Amino acid sequence: MSEIVSFEPATGAELWRGPIGDVDAEVAAARSGWSTWAARPLTYRIETMRRFANVVRQRAEAFADVIARETGKPLWEARTEVDTVIGKVDISVSAYSERSAQRRLDAPMGSRMALRHKPHGVLAVLGPYNFPAHLPNGHIVPALIAGNAVIFKPSEKTPATGVFLVECYRAAGVPEECIRLLIGGPNEGRALAGHDGIDGLLFTGSARTGIALNRAFAEKPEKILALEMGGNNPIVVWDTPDLYTAAVLVIQSAFTTAGQRCTAARRLIVDEKLYEPLMEQITKIVARLIVDHPHADPTPFMGPVIDNQVADELTESFLALMMRGGRAIRHLVRPVEDRPFLLPSIIDMTNVADRPDIELFGPILQVVRETDFDSAVAEANNTRYGLSASLISQTPALYDRFWAGTRAGIVNWNRPTNGASSSAPFGGVGWSGNHRPSAYYAADYCAYPVVSNEADAARASIGIGLRDA
């Protein structure tokens, strides 16, 4: 394969095509230019990023259109993604100032202690297809502010969005050698990740790929590795009188972006007493959700999944859950032949003893009924992942127990599992990350601290342990 071709999932139309890039050439270009960028004053790099935000603001509608067409997500959602790309700049400036600022520390004998931060050098960024602008941008902006050069490889499923994003950086004045675009598939991703010329890798994607990267970097402690992976996220409904609102929060958690969010609720854990009335509310609302192409009128709630291969795999996974003993409440229906539209599906897995601990990256919600709250919390933790968890309840004491007992990087109360803020740290534990949260804390892995004990003049003496002269 000599080129990458991107097709619109909703229509099958070709959107973009381009040649596969040269990994060695991109790394060499980045290595040649990063030190000049790093030597620029911080204020210069920040001002360049502010110009980038203005460029994106000027091109916002065209940018949203590319994202919507290439991912299949509704245009309204693509517009919110562009807004987060713009907002990331101010958030990253504040984060750098707070978490990577220069500081003077107390030191003895008239000397001074200085804390400063240095960029790593050349950082590779591997982006996902579900948020093809927002998520890589969340790595790239803080990396550039810190003084790194970046080689960005977008998902092979969303290269057009990657091209558009990089053009915005360059239009803002980021030197071409400091923001490189590598078009390619898994082979190019592996080659970039394993290249001796990079100083670190910032990854967003599946746990399987993240674990493979973790193994590959095990013998490279000199390189920074930040992993942002998926989740088998629980949403627990317990002791709440407003079941309509609970149903809305469950649906927003499970089916926004066609379930293609790492923070999407994969498992609904519900009090047995609330099960039937809650499911009645959920199924009524789900039946009304509009699933259509990005620019449809009336506006859709969700679009297709990314491609037919993913739709086929999700269909097979739903059948596999049924074969294990799951009881389908809403089947996974494919309403348009040869297109990856999937209607939201729900399956009761309560009586399945060996429930699979996997991330089904699509509109499939598994339901588990429990009879006591401790069992519900235990079921919420019954996963190797640990990204997001949410409790829907009117009882503060239950939330206190849920927060204390739930193993996840994001723990919400009466809010969806998704929709995390970029002004807070974002990341998980277990198979969801390697304790390097992104978003506001991305500054932590884009530069490393250097501590200096300094004095204007050298003064030293040995006051003990010497023979008489």
Which residue ranges make up each domain of the chain? 3-229+433-454, 233-413
Q: Which residues of the chain have pLDDT under 70?
A: 1, 109-110
- Burial (0-12, 13-18, 19+ Cβ within 10 Å), 61: exposed
Which pair of structure tokens corresponds to residue 259?
């379930």
**Given the residues 8, 156, 228, 370, the one annotated as active site:** 228
Alpha-carbon span 259 to 281, nearest angstrom: 19
From first CA to last CA, the distance across the chain in angstroms is 78
Tell me, what's the pLDDT at 245? 98
Burial bucket for residue 215 (CB in 10 Å: 0-12, 13-18, 19+): exposed
At residue 102, the pLDDT reads 86
- Per the CB < 8 A criterion, the answer to whether 395 and 239 are in contact is yes
CA-to-CA distance for 78 and 53, rounded, in angstroms? 16
Q: Cα angle vertex 267, ends 331, 85, to 5°?
A: 100
Residue 112: the pLDDT is: 84
Give the span between the Cα atoms of 81 and 71, in whole angstroms: 12
228 has catalytic annotation: yes
Q: What is the pLDDT of residue 1?
A: 60
Q: Known catalytic residue: 3?
A: no
Which phi and psi (to 5°) does residue 313 adopt? -65, -40
Instruction: Kindly state the tokens that stand for 186.
Output: 């898994």
- CATH of the domain spanning 233-413: 3.40.309.10
Cis peptide before 298 (omega within 30 of 0): yes
From the DSSP assignment, how many helices (H) and strands (E) are in the chain? Answer: 14, 19
Contact criterion met (CB below 8 Å) for 65 and 51: no
According to DSSP, the residues that pair with 116 across neighbouring strands are 450
d(CA 180, CA 33): 11
Greatest CA span in the chain, whole angstroms?
A: 96
CATH class of 3-229+433-454: alpha beta
CA distance 1 to 183: 12
Question: What one-letter code names the amino acid at 154?
Answer: P
Q: What is the DSSP string of 75-133?
A: HHHHHHHHHHHHHHHHHHHHHHHHHS--EEE--STT-EEEEEEEE-SEEEEE--SSSTT
Cβ-based neighbours of 430, under 8 Å, separated by 6 or more: 383, 384, 385, 386, 407
- The active-site residue out of 26, 178, 188, 262 is 262
Pairing, β 265-271 against β 327-330: unpaired
- 10 Å Cβ neighbour count for 323? 8
CA-based nearest residue to 61, from 81, 42, 45: 81
